[in-house]
Structure 1
């Protein structure tokens, strides 16, 4: 015999089934996800000693171009290219024959003028004696006096000419104006030279030597302070980093802070001097100047990896009550190795997430695995 289910009973069973399924789904939705495992560390204060780096170019403190002062042919070169030279050392000679002949002629002309002066003086003396006796016309006396004065002026002109010719003769031998290193000669024996032509050579001082750098106007007080400081021993405030990454063994000192800021770049040139006894530094080397920055105060430091950047702003995740994280905006200072100074936005002792930031968001619950 066939059995039939009451339609009312069927409706009740269906409603019960739907309700049971709905309750199960609500339970699944209300179940919270497990905390995200992260690493975190407390923000602490520490020494804020770090270095800023500035591009620098090695340059000579003193550099002189050797220019010919007279025209002629090079008759002697008395050094080796690249040699260390001393002030007053003979470098070049220029053919002096024409200048020596000119000097001899000038001396002979002076002697002639002195003889003329002597004769004019005697004539003037004699005519003045006759004039006192009223034995000669006054015009003759006046002419004799004028001749005497002209002779004196001709002697002075001859003496000036001798000085000029002697100077030219002197310039035929060129001496080193300072101690330093001389470069490669731009002329060879027999070459014709003249004033205003290409320099014969260049001499630069090399111990001490300098490094020039351009600093922002905001850095001026810092470098003025360094300029006024006295270094003690092997101070590491100013260190030169060579092109191969090695550090130069001698520390530097601020020698010159330029007089004015470049209005186009807003920068100021600073010259830092370095000892160079081994001639390791050469003019023109491009290097970096590492400048120690020690505020003398403890600064709040956190690992740099804890920082995330969004639209040129910096944030960290801080673990708060109930192990929930809050994202905080921070203002950063200088980076010191793997840490960074936090100037604002964070307090000492707050727990900052260092690993796992990519897996969490605002308000997420975390499980800190290390602090």
Structure 2
């Protein structure tokens, strides 16, 4: 009997204990700790950025040497890659036929001049006899006609001789400018065709140029730079394929006349002195152009920027030490900073480190 009473009392005691516990209020939730971040104030400053353009080294003067007369190559007077001067003999085409043609034309001219001299004397003689009425006027007319025909024959012979002399001269190809000749495209004995066979190429190397293509929105800027002479700190610097910087200063020498309709770009040519030959025609390089701001720009550390879904945003720290998201538009990047063209103003505070742990409204503790 006592065992039964004891067993019955145990549930009652448990219920009383639970009822007593139900009178206690739940503890208030504790606020999450502030997230430690690094911050920096948004500043304004005069900046100098660098715009980079892919470039190609090109000679300012370059001429393709093509045979102006046909025949076989009988002599090559220079070595491949040699420095040449204007007027220097480079190639010779077989001159046999052209020399013969010249001599023939020269002889024909002598005959034509001799005939002209004979008809001139006849015309003078008949004209004098006509004044004395010792010969018919018709005979004088014949003599004057013969003289005119002889003069025409002389003109024809002179033209033929000039052509023959020109062909004889063209059989020797000379350098049209002072520069460097390339690798010969023909060997001695090769048959060349007038006007089509490429013999070689001669180009100038000092000065030399770099061609770049710019976007349409940059045209006015480069037109303003076109009149600038080379300065102590060059606006245009060339980065060579080995990542070294070409130290000599350059200047714009030409801006193309029209925009390329396929790319929407305009070609600009910058000239450089090239005394050591470091810039080689055809070399691919990078042209860096200094872009100095005329007014103060809003700048922030680039590491403060986060990208989400194609948009750039930063976290700001409000007066209540809470993080706020702000969309921004970026301009040029320079060093470890970037220009902000819209979305921020000087004096605001942005988070530079620790952004990955933040959400809008997160309490932060600036370090």
- Taking structure 2 as the reference length, the TM-score comes to 0.93
**Which whole-Å deviations, capped at 9, do the CAs of 1:133-182 have from their partners, x for residues lacking one?**
33323322221111111111111111111111111111111111111110
Q: What is the correspondence of 1:1-371 to structure 2 with a 5 Å cutoff? A: 2=5, 13-20=17-24, 23-24=25-26, 26-27=27-28, 30-233=29-232, 235-369=233-367
Deviation at 1:43? 1.6
CA distance in 2, matches of 1:19, 1:199: 106
SS of equivalent residue, structure 1 residue 358: helix
| CA distance in 2 between partners of 1:186 and 1:128 (Å) | 64
Residue 109 of structure 1: CA displacement? Answer: 1.1
* Mapped partners of 2:114, 2:314: distance in 1: 100
Query: Could you tell me how far apart the structure 2 residues matched to 1:143 and 1:116 are?
Result: 15
Residue 76 of structure 1 deviates from its aligned partner by 1.8
CA contact (8 A) 2:69 2:195 kept: no
Q: CA deviation at 1:6?
A: 12
Q: CA RMSD in A?
A: 1.9
Gapped runs of 5+ residues in structure 1? Answer: none
Q: Distance in 1 between matches of 2:253 and 2:266?
A: 14
User: Secondary structure of 1:297's partner?
Assistant: coil
TM-score for both structures, normalised by structure 1: 0.93
SS at match of 1:323: coil
Take 1:241 and 1:19, find their aligned partners in 2: how far apart are those partners? 79
CA distance in 2, matches of 1:31, 1:19: 22
Counterpart Cα distance in 1 of 2:332 and 2:189 = 61
8 Å CA contact 1:240–1:251 kept in 2: the answer is no
Measured after TM superposition, the shift of residue 303 of structure 1 is 1.2
Q: Distance in 2 between matches of 1:118 and 1:85?
A: 48
Aligned length: 363
